[in-house]
Amino acid sequence: MTTSPRPLTVVRTNRLMRSSSARSEPKSVPHSPSESTGSQRGAALPVVVLGMVFMLLISVLLVGLADRASDRSRAQAAADAAALAGAVDGREGAAALAEANSGQLMEFESDQVGVSVVVEVDGHRAQARAERRLSPHPRG
């Protein structure tokens, strides 16, 4: 018996051959353009540091301004109190109240209407004027 030859068939597969180490560790895929280039890695750090330095400088400036405003306010309060005391008790009363408010009486002027004083507290000078007024005695 004669047999006819069988036709040969070729089967192609699209399988790639991989080594065993490649199968256990998947290849990392970059998630953003900066990860793929690596040129911008850590770029936010200088911006954050500059922002913090800027905020620190602004804080120091604001604290200095607040301290200065407080000193001027204290000087004005001392001058107001010294002027009122000077209207009643003269120069001695004005000087005593200026010192009680951590200040020094620098100028004192008195006329028939009232008194004017200049008081210095921590290097800040303030001026105030108080008038003498005659008021009736309170009824009681």
Task: Using alpha carbons, list the distances in angstroms from residue 67 to 70, 100, 106.
Answer: 5, 20, 23
Is 105 inside any structural domain? yes
Contact 117, 98 (CB under 8 A): yes
The whole-number pLDDT of residue 9 equals: 62
Is 36 inside any structural domain? no
Task: Name residues of the chain where pLDDT drops below 70.
Answer: 1-39, 135-140
Q: What is the pLDDT of residues 52-86, one digit of tens each?
A: 999 999 999 999 999 999 999 999 999 999 999 99
Is 46 inside any structural domain? no
Contact 111, 117 (CB under 8 A): no
Is 69 inside any structural domain? yes
Is 1 inside any structural domain? no
Task: Using alpha carbons, list the distances in angstroms from residue 60 to 48, 56, 101, 135.
Answer: 19, 6, 27, 49
* Domain count across the chain: 1
The whole-number pLDDT of residue 40 equals: 74
d(CA 105, CA 86): 11
Whole-structure pTM over 0.95, yes or no?
no
Is 55 inside any structural domain? no
Is 70 inside any structural domain? yes
Residue 101: give the domain boundaries. Answer: 61-131
Alpha carbons within 13 A on the beta-carbon side of 128:
24
Give me Rg for the CA atoms of the chain.
Answer: 44
Question: For residue 74, which of 14, 26, 125, 134 has the smallest C-alpha distance?
Answer: 125
Is 71 inside any structural domain? yes
